[in-house]
Chain A
Amino acid sequence: MKRYLLPLIVFVVLLGFLAVGLNLKPREVPSPLIDKPAPAFKLARLDAPDKQLSLQDLQGKVWLLNVWASWCVACRVEHPLLVDLAGSGTVPIYGLNYKDKRDDAIAWLAKHGNPYVASLSDTEGLIGIDYGVYGVPETFVIDKAGVIRLKHIGPVTPEVLRDTILPLVKKLNA
């Protein structure tokens, strides 16, 4: 009996590791920017390229930064949710139009609805790099002091919005 004990323990430990491994999400790389000041930017607005918007302009309020692109298929999944959220007026959403063509982006918004107070044109993806963006869509929650409080990788789901983003926004606004 005793000789089977050790292999059994090894097996159970291995099983435990594998079970944990199966439930990890290696695609979601934790961002080092959480609880750090949001990287500065000064970008042209998508709707008015002659006007620029910078991080300072957004100080003093809690806001969402949603990275999107017209070529991004997953963005279509979360988009209706964002349009609803914008309609509710809970929190302003700003878009970072990542590596997109302006005409495509404008046409895409016209077709799917525009939840953004303003979208910033990050044509070269440089601000995306500053924010550690490695896939689209990604969503950041930024607080009144301009500190990144949350980064959500991938499409925002109703669950994530209800259980994570909205409670956080409420807390930050309190």
Chain B
Amino acid sequence: MLDVPSPAAACGGAGRRDGSSSDSAPLRGRHWWPCEAGSAVSARSVIAALLLALLCVGVSAQDARPLADDPVLEAQVMRIAEELRCLVCQNETIAASHADLAVDLRKQIRQKLQQGQSQQQILDFMVQRYGDFVLYRPPVKSSTWLLWGGPFLLLGAALVGLILNIRRRRSPASVPLRSDEAERVRRLLGEEKSEA
């Protein structure tokens, strides 16, 4: 179980650093990054980001090695692995994770593809062992309808709320005007008409 920082995050940080390389301010101390409102970055963290970026060069090189064997197969492995959730680092796909189990499962996917199994067969193999949890796109069934329908339910509720609100604002006040108020309205409207 490796807790490797996500290379994507490290690379993202490096990208931002490069983006403002003409500006030497970040190295002088506190500086507001244009794309990250609210976070001050010190020289030390810039150096840390650079080191992380170096680390991520190493990491991605390690990741890319098996591609040399058979790029087509490897692309297929990765496509399937991206559909699967790593159970150790639960917010990573099996394609992205460096956990031992993810490496083993990628190996399984590779072997099964070599044996001529289809993507569906491989996904079924994983679900049989790890449950629907392993799928990044869980199937629609009674236990997941709230997951799939929830956003639409919220959207519907928000729309109903919006419509009710607009209607309430549009409907004329039901309280009748007092006689002096009515007089004032007439006067104001009359004045407006004469000006127009």
Interface residues of A (CB under 8 A from B): 26-27, 29-33, 99, 124-125, 129-132, 134-135
Dominant secondary structure of chain A at its interface with chain B: loop
Dominant secondary structure of chain B at its interface with chain A: helix
With beta carbons under 8 angstroms apart, the residue of A26, A129, A135 that contacts B104 is: A129
Contact B129 A131 (CB under 8 A): yes
Interface residues of B (CB under 8 A from A): 1, 87-88, 90, 100-101, 104-105, 108, 127-133
With beta carbons under 8 angstroms apart, the residue of A124, A125, A134 that contacts B87 is: A134
Contact A32 B129 (CB under 8 A): yes
Q: Which of B87, B101, B128, B129 is most buried by chain A, counting CB atoms within 10 A of its CB? A: B129
With beta carbons under 8 angstroms apart, the residue of B88, B128, B132 that contacts A134 is: B88
> Nearest chain B CB to A47's CB is how many angstroms away?
25
With A29-B131, A30-B131 as contacts: A125 and B104 at CB distance below 8 Å: yes
7 A-B residue pairs with CB within 8 Å: A26-B90, A29-B130, A29-B133, A32-B128, A32-B130, A124-B104, A129-B108
With beta carbons under 8 angstroms apart, the residue of A29, A124, A130, A134 that contacts B101 is: A134
Chain A neighbourhood of B1, CB < 8 A = 135
